[in-house]
Each structure stands twice: as C-alpha cells, then as structure tokens.
Amino acid sequence: MNNRVIHTPDGVRDLYGRNKKNKKILMAQLDGVFERYGYSDIETPTLEYFEVFSSDIGTTPSNELYKFFDRDGNTLVLRPDFTPSVARAVSMHFPDDAFPARLCYSGSTFVNSREYQGKLKEATQMGIELIGDGSADADAEVIAVVCDLLLTSGLKEFQVSIGEVNFFKSLAERSGLDEETVETIRRLITTKNFFGVSEVLDQANVDDAIREALEELPQLFGGAEIFNKAEKYALADQEKEAIRRLRDIHAALVDKKLDRYISYDFGSLSKYTYYTGIIFSAFTYGTGEPIARGGRYDHLLGHFGKDLPAVGVGLYFDQLTNCLQRQLIPYGADALLAGKGGNA
Amino acid sequence: MRYLTIALTKGRLANKTLELFERIGVDASGALDKNTRKLVFTNEELGLRFFLAKGPDVPTYVYYGAADIGIVGRDTIIEENKKLYEVLDLGYGKCRMCVCGPASARKYLENGDTIRVATKYPNIAKDYFLGRKHQTVEIIKMNGSIELAPIVGLSEVIVDIVETGSTLRENGLEVLEEVCPLSARMVVNQVSMKMENERIADLIRRLKNELAKGI
C-alpha cells in the first residue's frame, strides 16, 4: 500500500485516545476561565482574504502563509493567527454601543514555516481580545487572564515578560537614525546582543544620552525595580508615559497578587508593526518559544474602518501541553484522575 | 537548584572556553576528560552541566532549551539563524567569513556574472550574494575541504572561514571579498534568560569582567 495514504503531511497530526481526552478537558477548563472573566465566544472562518493578514497589518510574513485562489482569482489564506480576523469581524458586525467588548476564541491556526521543523504547522490557539478599552486596567486584566489560564492548566513555574513598544519607538525617533539602522538596532536589541548595538552606534552620529539608553536597552529587564533604572533614560514624554503605564499595570497586578509571575523587559520589541503599547510573552521550562503572546494594538481596528483601542492575547495550546508533559504535570483528564487518586 | 546546562562547541573553542570558566572559578575540566565515556559533565557544587556538541548543533540545543547556554562561533549562529539571545562576544576564535578563489575569479564578482559558489554555509552565501551584492549565483553545499572546489573546477569561488589564509595561499587561492568578521559568542535560550535571569546574568557579568582584563 502506498505510504502516503496512511501518513499525515509534515507538521499536522491525528489526535485520539488519552491525548485527545486530555486536550478536550483542558480546553473546557480554559474556556471556564474565559467565562469567569466575562468573555463571550466568537467564531471566524478558517479562510480569509489575503488582505486581512497583509504586511501593513503585519502578523506573519507572507511567505509563511498558506495561500489559495478562489474562483474569482482572489487570494485566500488559512488564518495564521486570530487577532486580525477578530478585528475584521468586530469592525464588520458590532454596533458602536457594543463596546467595550470582551471576546474569546479557540481553533486551529496555520503557519507554513520552515523554521517550525518538528513543530506543528496546524496549531491550536485559544485567546481573548478586549476591544474598546484603552486603559491600563484593561492591559492588566488581559495579563491576569493569561496567568489564570496557565495556573488552571496546572503550570506552576512561568513568567510573563512585559514590554512597552513606545519606549524604543520614541528613542529611535529622537535618535534621528535612518529606518534601516533602526531596524538593525531593533533586531540586535531583541536578541539581547549588547555589543552589536554598540558596534552599530559606533558608526552612527547619535546624541550621547540616546546612545547610552539604546545600549542599555538589551539589559533593561527584571522586576519592578527596573522602572527606576529606565526612568534615568526616559527624557521624552512618550518614554515617561511608557514607564508610567507599566507602573500602573504593575500596581493592578500587585492587587491581583500576580506580581510574582511578572517581569518587565524594555528590550522586548516586536517586529509586528501593529502593536502600539504593551507587548508581552509568557515563558516556561520545556520549550524555546513563548507559550502565549499578546499586546495592545490601538490602530488595527482602524484598518477595518472602526478606530478602537484593543488589547489581546493568544495562548499556543499545543506548546502549553508540550511543556506540561515535559514538566511531568498531569493535565486534563489525567489531572482529574490524579486529583481523585490522591486520596486513594 | 535546577541545573544550568551549557553546550560547548567541540574542539579548540571548548578548550578556550573552559580555560575562561576556570579563571572565573568554574571548574568544568571534566568535560574534556578523554578517559571517560560520559557525555555530560556535572559540577554539582555550582549546579552546572556541560556537554560537547558539533558546532551547528549547539544553536539547536539552545533553541529547544535542552541547553540554557551555548558557546559557538558567530558563523554558526548566522547560518543556523535560530531565535536566540546573543549576549557576549568572547573575543577568541577570531576569523573572517570570506569569498575566496583564484585571482582570475575576481572579474566574475565585479561583473556580476552568474557563477557557482561552493560553501559549508549556504545561508550566509545566499544572503551575501543575493541580499547584499544582488548577484545571481548557484550555491553548492559542501561538507568539508571547500578549497578543493575551485581547484578542480566545481565552482568559481568559495565562501568559507579564513583565519590566517595559509591553506588558501598553498593552493593558489586568495581572499577576494570579506563577508563579515567572526568570533566565539555566548548564546542563551530566550526562556532560560527569563526564568533563570539572576544566575545567567551573574555568569555573563563575571565572564565580561574577566574578558575586560584581557587575555
């Protein structure tokens, strides 16, 4: 018999038996978290027009999208991520008095990336979008949901690392460097390449105070004590505002007793242009990649004709269960059994 | 305490690195012990684990979190192009990535001819010729003795690491263009950097101070 008939293509898989049951139950538990915070479900199609994920919205590079043509010759893609889809749907259907809207979703996402060797090309994502609320409380709420999701899954050790894109944006603007150099520096800061940033700045003519700030950025991460250090470099209003924002979020998270899961990283920048405020990633042992990623994107809905602030997060479900397995934490049905078995 | 695992590139880089670790009071000499078949050396006192791996595998170990820290040449980091934190230039293992060939091949580079390029580093070669020079080339991936390729007529030029250039000279080849400077780097897994921030930051700081003293 031809092997191709039996095997699945690279990056997709069958799920059945115990693994499927664990997944189903854990997803239901996480859904419970969404419900507790007052989020209601939204479903968007797997296929969208290419324009929804195009480069000026900027989530996934075009060559990593699965693309098709419909009968009229339009380019369609399999969604690589939910946020632009949800933004589009909300702009299309929701009346102006529907905000703030709390929406949650779960389903498959598709990324055709070579880098994902040994990783899934069809991956389950669960997440939320809080649309129409631009406050620090909204930011803190979304981060609290992430922590709650991870704790509910059974994970005990994790870190949510929060950054603010405006801090770097403003420094870059003040530096007067051309776009290409800024992009090089952004890349070096994201990889915490301390010496690389200095090398690039050696060849550029930059104000000393800004230079010092840019050189410090890759090391500007840690607990709330990092705010004082960052303040030394924040000379423009936008930079001060970024720090004030993070302080407000921190205060809200302390109130929720979640601060021990949180750290701050001014050097965490995103190549995704749609982020306009905080960005954050959740990390744990057992994977080289974040298990959840999110941030504030106040202009994305504007692309679809409804200018509203929004903040959201996506949880990479399969990454999470991988980590749980590697950390020997039972989850889903196994966790329920272990809970009952504890007394026996 | 959780172990911090460090992947070292087999060979000279590993020797140099362990010397450096020794100088900051971290004993890992067991990792080079030829009398044992053990693959992983553990320093229980400091909670560190060391193992040796082939260069191109080091970024892979670190990327997947099997190692928290890796010591590897910049050539390998660029070629493998994994998402890693590149936190320290260790300064040793200095060399250059170059386009080399017989002097007669220089004209092909100047004219932008479509030529064949033999290399162990197809990504670096592609990025240099297509991305920076905008020259269409055919890249041939090789696994060793790259210098042979232009001599026997497999390719017009090669892209390879040049340290002193003596092998090139002995074979009638020379450096035609320099792609980038290289040296040994310390890379850190992105998750480890957050989860084990204090210990890793401390290690980086101590290594940095030691390096500042000069070798």
For B181, residues 6+ apart whose C-beta sits below 8 A from its C-beta are B74, B94, B95, B96, B97
Run of H or E residues at A341: helix A333-341
Same domain for B82 and B187, yes or no, is yes
Average pLDDT, rounded, for chain A: 89
Instruction: Kindly state whether residues B29 and B82 are assigned to the same domain.
Output: yes
Of the two residues A7 and B207, the one the predictor is more confident about is: B207
Same domain, B128 and B160: yes
- B97 band by pLDDT with thresholds 50, 70 and 90: very high
Query: Is B138 in the same domain as B199?
Result: no
Show the tokens assigned to A59. 């989530």
Q: How far is the C-alpha of B118 from the C-alpha of B104, rounded, in Å?
A: 16
Give the pLDDT confidence score for residue A109 in this predicted structure.
95
Confidence of residue B93 (pLDDT cuts 50, 70, 90): confident
More confident residue, A98 or A288: A98
Cβ-defined contact of B195 to A287 (cutoff 8 Å): no
Cα gap A196→A173, rounded to integer Å:
20
Beta strand ranges found along A70-220 (DSSP E): 75-78, 101-110, 122-131, 159-164
Pick from B100, B106, B48, B58: nearest CA to B82: B58
pLDDT of A341 reads: 43
CB contact under 8 A, A288 and B89: no
Q: Is A242 exposed, middle or buried (0-12, 13-18, 19+ CB in 10 A)?
A: buried
Q: Mean pLDDT, to the nearest integer, of A10-15?
A: 88
Taking Cα atoms as reference points, which of A140, A136, A330, B63 lies closest to residue A339? A330
Examine the pLDDT at B215 and tell me if it is beyond 60. Answer: no
Nearest to A283 by CA among A300, A258, A262, A303: A262
pLDDT 10s digits, B158-209:
999 999 889 899 999 999 999 999 999 999 998 888 888 889 989 998 998 8
Q: Count of CB atoms within 10 A of residue B122's CB?
A: 16
Cross-chain Cβ contact A283/B195 below 8 Å: yes
Asked if B100 and B148 sit in the same domain, the reply is yes
Tell me how far CA of residue B19 lies from CA of B7, B90, B183, B188, in angstroms: 15, 12, 16, 20
Asked whether residue B129 falls in the same domain as residue B172, the answer is yes
Of B169, B154, B173, B152, residue with least CA distance to B99: B173
Please check whether residues B99 and B75 belong to one and the same domain.
Answer: no
Q: In what order do the strands lie in the sheet with A221-222?
A: A40-41, A101-110, A122-131, A310-316, A292-296, A278-283, A159-164, A262-265, A221-222
CA A221/CA B195 separation, integer angstroms: 12
Beta carbons of A85 and A91 less than 8 angstroms apart: no
pLDDT at A344 over 50: no
Q: Are strands B4-9 and A278-283 parallel, antiparallel or unpaired?
A: unpaired
Q: State pLDDT tens for residues A311-334.
A: 999 999 999 999 999 899 999 989
Are B65 and A159 in contact (CB < 8 Å)?
no
ipTM of the complex: 0.75
Which amino acid is present at A161?
S
Dist. CA A142–CA A136, nearest whole Å: 10
Query: Looking at the structure, do residues B55 and B70 belong to the same domain, yes or no?
Result: yes
pLDDT band, residue A4 (cuts 50/70/90): low
What does the alpha-carbon distance between residue A104 and residue A128 come to, in Å, rounded to a whole number?
4
Non-local (6+) Cβ contacts of A310 within 8 A are A87, A129, A130, A131, A132, A296, A297, A298, A300, A301
Say if the Cβ atoms of B188 and A196 lie within 8 Å: no
Query: Closest partner residue to B195 among A159, A193, A265, by Cβ?
Result: A159
A171 Cβ contact partners less than 8 Å away, ≥ 6 residues apart: A210, A213, A214, A217, A233, A236, A239
CA dihedral A8, A13, A16, A17 (to 10 degrees): 110
Q: Which residues in chain A touch residue B193, judged by CB atoms under 8 angstroms apart?
A: 192
CATH of the domain at B133: 3.40.190.10
Residue B89 with chain A: CB contacts under 8 Å: 195
Return the minimum-mean-pLDDT range out of A134-148, A181-195, A313-327: A181-195
> Total structural domains in chain B?
2
Average pLDDT over residues B103-119: 89
Contact A283 B191 (CB under 8 A): yes
pLDDT confidence of residue A59 = 67
d(CA A192, CA A267) in angstroms, rounded, equals: 7
3-state secondary structure of A76: strand
Q: Is B164 helix (H, G, I), strand (E, B) or coil?
A: coil
Encoded tokens for A183:
């992009």
The answer to whether A263 faces chain B, any CB pair under 8 Å, is yes
Cβ atoms of residues A317 and A282 within 8 Å? no
Evaluate the omega torsion of the peptide bond into residue A100 and state whether it is cis, within 30 degrees of 0.
yes
Report how far residue B77's alpha carbon sits from residue B89's, in angstroms, rounded to the nearest whole number. 12
- Residue of B82, B85, B194 with shortest CB distance to A263: B194
Q: Are residues B101 and B62 in the same domain?
A: no
Fill in the DSSP letter of residue A191. T
Range of the domain at B76: 4-93+183-212
- Domain check: are B8 and B89 in the same one? yes
The verdict on B9 and B69 lying in the same domain is yes
Percent of chain A with pLDDT over 70: 94
- Please tell me whether residues B177 and B188 are part of one structural domain: no
- Nearest CA to B183 among B76, B28, B58? B76
The CA-based dihedral angle spanning residues B138, B139, B144, B147, taken in that order and rounded to the nearest 10 degrees: 50
What residues in A contact B83, CB-CB < 8 Å?
191, 288-289
**Which of A37-41, A107-111, A192-196, B4-8 bottoms out in mean pLDDT, i.e. has the lowest?**
A192-196
pLDDT for the residue A254: 95
Kindly list the distances between the CA atom of residue A20 and the CA atoms of A15, A122, A125, B48, B51, in Å, as whole numbers in the listed order: 5, 15, 15, 37, 37
Percent of chain A with pLDDT over 90: 59
Across chain B, the runs of DSSP E, i.e. the strands, are 4-9, 40-43, 48-53, 69-73, 85-89, 95-101, 115-119, 137-141, 157-162, 174-182, 184-188
Test mutation, A195, A199, A271, A322, chain B, max B CBs within 10 A:
A195
Beta strands in chain A (DSSP E): 40-41, 47-49, 67-69, 75-78, 101-110, 122-131, 159-164, 221-222, 262-265, 278-283, 292-296, 310-316
Grade residue A116 by pLDDT with cuts at 50, 70 and 90: low
